[in-house]
Structure 1
């Protein structure tokens, strides 16, 4: 189906003028809101460097023309962005009005600090919120991330990120290997597909300290354990140690040299070159793999649901949000930006380019939106299948960064040959008092 792009004039005129020219089959309901109310305002927007941030910046001019609001946006790599956020938000006078949030890392920290404005009253205001933006349109995981225990919205759910297994069909076919359905098959395939003499490796994932913790936590879900259960650390249990042992084996026997320095970008780069058979990471990192200007594996990429562990099949789940800082003096204008960021139009672009997965059911379930998806149909199938076995990967606690750091050191040590049980027990004992202090115990 040919997609018809609206002209800017049509876009600004609202749903009545768009008719058949609606973007990706969606008719903007923007005309119901007084979008020009804060014309002349300038907003500072703090984004995480990611495909989601790229989409927001790419179409920023549309928001500016729709509202008359000037936007200064900046993308920063996630770890630096988190550090900057804490420093500025703690001061009470952040330099930004809007912030892109990694819920899986920042949720409890932001709630405890009172750093985000309550968007609940804005959501109920028809002069600020278009009618289709209702709570029931958000997926359950999105609401769990965005709302605090009192039901207050400290941000809007933006994009869910399921971790999947990217695989190189050409490398698999050359060895006559099938896609792994279990952890045992994953290990077997990774080792059979590794040939260091040819510079070909069976598996890659994040090896860098802190970034590596979600990889291990993802494997741990397959053993039927989360890192923290009812406030109690599970990171030195037999299951956690088994997951660490599996991580060590995959990353030492089947991964490229230098993997201890790999974050997602280095993993993606190695997979793009066609020298790695499998890569475990977020579904939102897919677009460059199908871009002939960046990828040597166009048309060869398989998209697979996380293989089943010894106990359960679980798709590790993470999520982004976008919110207004409590310290902003331009909260209503900033809310309009957040609303635009998660609008049906922007959500369709996110999904159709493979840059992310909106939390809004009305976007995911729209057949016209699905027709416009530029990623292979297998990518959409994996998204749907992952949603059915979705489990939150990282613990929802205040010191998530410390958790990732402490566990990450242990995992990095494993790549140097350390004993998994010793490292997991040591890291657990080191983190235990940090968790207790954060919970006021």
Structure 2
């Protein structure tokens, strides 16, 4: 078993020698562990005998945590009862239990792009800054400075509280079919104007091939619109809480969304969520697909994909005024009502260590929140995703901005404006639809901040 993160004297040296690769595969490195344990004075057994409850959203990352959690128990003597629940149901359960005042879990996985503001207002979580500052309960090898800016920005509240440790940052980018591009002699677009031209040129309904696919389903389609809006240098709400959803830039982004999905996407995309888009792309029926980079694993799986080895990974092209990648993030935190906070903190340190973050890369868990894992050349060169995938993550990280507003009624926002966007696909005027949606949502937003 691997205790790599938590107790090793020279991580850079070990990564260079490739020992970490063996640990990641679950092969173990007894000599390394004995050496590390001999040199480490940190007491991982301080909460031995306790049992903690962990609630996770169903994902490849949760699979990885559950697959290796026996390592944590062997290291600490703490038993883990973890549960994976589909994303929407997990968010509902978390909301209900926090609202009750007696959550049944000690460690919780939050979708920060959805739950950040409500967690702050409801005082759901422990502030982790005092834990990090306390050398008696935080491993000297934890290396908090290794976490990237995008993830930490999501995890940190406006008052400076650190509610969670980021585990994963999803950058929106363009999956593209290099074979289809080459057949038409088209280069990867350098702007959103070029993207639309490429989508048009690559659309061939007679062959069942379309230039572009993205989410058209109401609610799910919001990040598509906000991705285009970021190209105008705007988010949907400004720092003072004012809605920017009727601005010329917002209307332009809605028109761009409409044009791509109506003119250059497969029939029926008004009902497409990410999975339908992914299937369409994997079947070779779409030349480009805008979505999160965390959906890569099946695309490169020959058991389910027809485009293995043909996929390019492109940073979202710049818009008329700005160049950004819409970002989303998850974090792990301690429920404020937990009676086993120290054990929970030990679990979070283990779950967010460098070994588990490397496992995300090796085992299809998406883009980790730590920076150092992207410098592990063995992982990069041996990955089936190829170096372009890693480059796309690193370049997207430099230009990341939130893909959703940091507000309490995020789901209502997605519902209201999602309907407005789908209406544009059936003849609705973008400016009119956004005006109606803004008028409908404004009182919901105002009410959410009262009390």
Identify whether the pair has TM-score above 0.5, normalized to the shorter chain: yes
Q: Distance in 2 between matches of 1:36 and 1:135?
A: 21
Closer, same or farther: CA 156–309 of 1 in aligned 2, 3 Å: same
1:257 is aligned, of 267, 274, 299, to 267
Closer, same or farther: CA 13–345 of 1 in aligned 2, 3 Å: closer
Q: Distance in 2 between matches of 1:32 and 1:380?
A: 36
* 1:328 and 2:330 are equivalent in the alignment: no
Q: Is the 8 A contact 1:398 1:438 kept in 2?
A: yes
Residue equivalent to 1:142: 151
The more displaced of 220-229 and 193-202 is: 193-202
Instruction: Please report how far the alpha carbon of residue 126 of structure 1 lies from its aligned counterpart in structure 2 after TM superposition.
Output: 2.7
* 1:376 and 2:373 are equivalent in the alignment: no
Q: Distance in 2 between matches of 1:93 and 1:334?
A: 16
The more displaced of 235-244 and 117-126 is: 117-126
Residue equivalent to 1:158: 167
Encode CA deviations 1:140-168: one digit per residue, 9 max, x unaligned: 22222222233322111111111110001
Q: Matched residue of 1:334: which SS?
A: helix
Q: Is the 8 A contact 1:25 1:368 kept in 2?
A: no
Instruction: Please report how far the alpha carbon of residue 39 of structure 1 lies from its aligned counterpart in structure 2 after TM superposition.
Output: 2.9
* 1:53 and 2:50 are equivalent in the alignment: no
The more displaced of 108-117 and 54-63 is: 54-63
Residue equivalent to 1:394: 404
Encode CA deviations 1:270-315: one digit per residue, 9 max, x unaligned: 2222222111111111122112222211100000000111112211
Residue equivalent to 2:27: none
1:121 is aligned, of 124, 130, 135, to 130
Instruction: Please report how far the alpha carbon of residue 52 of structure 1 lies from its aligned counterpart in structure 2 after TM superposition.
Output: 2.3
Provide the TM-score with structure 1 as the length reference: 0.91
1:197 is aligned, of 206, 219, 224, to 206
Pairing 1:27-42 to 2, within 5 Å after superposition:
31-42=40-51
Encode CA deviations 1:97-123: one digit per residue, 9 max, x unaligned: 221111111111101101112222222
* 1:341 and 2:321 are equivalent in the alignment: no
1:98 is aligned, of 98, 107, 110, to 107
Residue equivalent to 2:313: 303
Q: Is the 8 A contact 2:300 2:384 kept in 1?
A: no
Q: Distance in 2 between matches of 1:246 and 1:265?
A: 22
Q: Distance in 2 between matches of 1:13 and 1:83?
A: 33
The more displaced of 75-84 and 311-320 is: 75-84
The more displaced of 140-149 and 383-392 is: 140-149
Q: Distance in 1 between matches of 2:5 and 2:380?
A: 24
Q: Is the 8 A contact 1:162 1:317 kept in 2?
A: yes
Q: Matched residue of 1:225: which SS?
A: coil
Encode CA deviations 1:404-425: one digit per residue, 9 max, x unaligned: 1111111121222211111111
Q: Distance in 1 between matches of 2:104 and 2:217?
A: 30
Instruction: Please report how far the alpha carbon of residue 171 of structure 1 lies from its aligned counterpart in structure 2 after TM superposition.
Output: 1.6
Q: Is the 8 A contact 1:342 1:358 kept in 2?
A: no
Q: Is the 8 A contact 2:167 2:369 kept in 1?
A: yes
Closer, same or farther: CA 374–126 of 1 in aligned 2, 3 Å: farther
Q: Distance in 2 between matches of 1:236 and 1:97?
A: 42
2:323 is aligned, of 286, 308, 313, to 313
Q: Is the 8 A contact 1:97 1:328 kept in 2?
A: yes
The more displaced of 207-216 and 29-38 is: 29-38
Q: Distance in 1 between matches of 2:418 and 2:113?
A: 16
Q: Matched residue of 1:229: which SS?
A: coil
Q: Is the 8 A contact 1:32 1:131 kept in 2?
A: no
Q: Is the 8 A contact 2:313 2:392 kept in 1?
A: yes
Q: Distance in 1 between matches of 2:4 and 2:398?
A: 35
Q: Matched residue of 2:227: which SS?
A: helix
Instruction: Please report how far the alpha carbon of residue 212 of structure 1 lies from its aligned counterpart in structure 2 after TM superposition.
Output: 0.9
Q: Distance in 2 between matches of 1:136 and 1:355?
A: 22
* 1:434 and 2:427 are equivalent in the alignment: no
Gaps of at least 5 residues in structure 2 are: 24-31
Closer, same or farther: CA 270–44 of 1 in aligned 2, 3 Å: farther
Q: Matched residue of 2:431: which SS?
A: helix
* 1:15 and 2:8 are equivalent in the alignment: yes
Pairing 1:403-418 to 2, within 5 Å after superposition:
403-418=413-428
Q: Distance in 2 between matches of 1:171 and 1:184?
A: 19
Residue equivalent to 1:173: 182
Encode CA deviations 1:169-219: one digit per residue, 9 max, x unaligned: 112222222211111221122222223333222211122221111110111
Instruction: Please report how far the alpha carbon of residue 357 of structure 1 lies from its aligned counterpart in structure 2 after TM superposition.
Output: 2.3
Residue equivalent to 2:90: 81
Instruction: Please report how far the alpha carbon of residue 44 of structure 1 lies from its aligned counterpart in structure 2 after TM superposition.
Output: 2.3
Residue equivalent to 1:4: none
Provide the TM-score with structure 2 as the length reference: 0.89
